[in-house]
Amino acid sequence: MDATVARQRERDLVEEFAGLALDDPTRAKVREALIVIHQPLVRSLAYRYAGRGEPIDDLIQAGSIGLIQAVDRFDPERSESFTGFAVATILGEIRKHFRDHTWSIRVPRRMQEIAQQVSIARTELEQELKRSPTVKEIADRLGVGLDEVLDALEAAQAYTTHSLDAPSIEGASTREPGADDDAIAAVLKRLDLAPALAALDDDERALLRMRFVEELSQTEIAERLDVDQSQVSRRLAHILLRLRNRMAPPTA
């Protein structure tokens, strides 16, 4: 099948799928066809992250989840290209897999455990106190020292560094045969920001949309979400920093 025909078929499928009612009996078939023809895309993206300590099959599986989400969530009226949208969600799921399953730097097991306890205690205390707890309050709750909590808070940031976002340079040995690399490379070039955005959760994307698309002020967003303006400010700053870290070339 030649590339133009393949692309036309993809477009047709996407359009057909979007036009089908949820209970349409042909929907499942079209959905499956869409998933099948995009498998090479998933594999190609997964191989970009090969050799980082995670089995390639797990990465492909995570990417497939992203693909299925892309199929189910794609709205042709809001996004121009399905492939572009799919790349973003697939990479989002692969990165999420790394976040959930690996630490980007070696963190001692005990520290990982404390980091987890600190994170839980922080959320619990936030709900109990209706404000962010102090470091001492967390330390007291867990019966550990201030320093341990501080180390754990710092260690928790090891989950999200930019190293993961710089795709490894891969030779022919790890490249998936048959993958349409040029077409994907072209899509990826245009999508520098999109994968970074895909790594955000729905709340974070909603927040960015309100601030930068709807151009609401922080106070207006705070009113809409029924939270404090300072919380909006803080969350926006964290999101922007994360985006920047994901897009910036790795520094020394």
Q: Report if residue 135 touches another protein, rule: CB under 8 A.
A: yes
- List the one residue from 116, 132, 163, 174 that touches another protein (CB under 8 A): 132
Cβ nearer to another protein, comparing 136 with 209: 136
Task: Single out the segment in contact with another protein by CB under 8 A; choices: 6-14, 93-101, 148-156, 171-179.
Answer: 148-156
Question: For residue 121, which of 147, 162, 152 has the smallest C-alpha distance?
Answer: 152
d(CA 132, CA 4): 55
Among 94, 138, 198, 207, binds another protein (CB under 8 A): 138
Q: Minimal distance in Å, beta carbon 244 to another protein?
A: 5
Contact between 209 and another protein per CB under 8 A? no
Residues 104-123 that bind another protein (CB under 8 A): 122
Own/partner pairs for 233-242, CB < 8 Å, 24+ apart? 235/204, 235/207, 236/207, 236/208, 236/211, 239/200, 239/204, 239/207, 239/208, 242/160, 242/196, 242/199, 242/200
Asked if 236 interacts with another protein (CB under 8 A), we say yes
| Residues across the chain | 252
Inter-helix orientation angle 27-37/39-47, to 10°: 40
Q: Is 133 in the site for another protein (CB under 8 A)?
A: yes
Query: What residues line the site for another protein (CB under 8 A)?
Result: 122, 129, 131-138, 146-147, 149-150, 153-154, 233-234, 236-238, 240-241, 244, 251-252
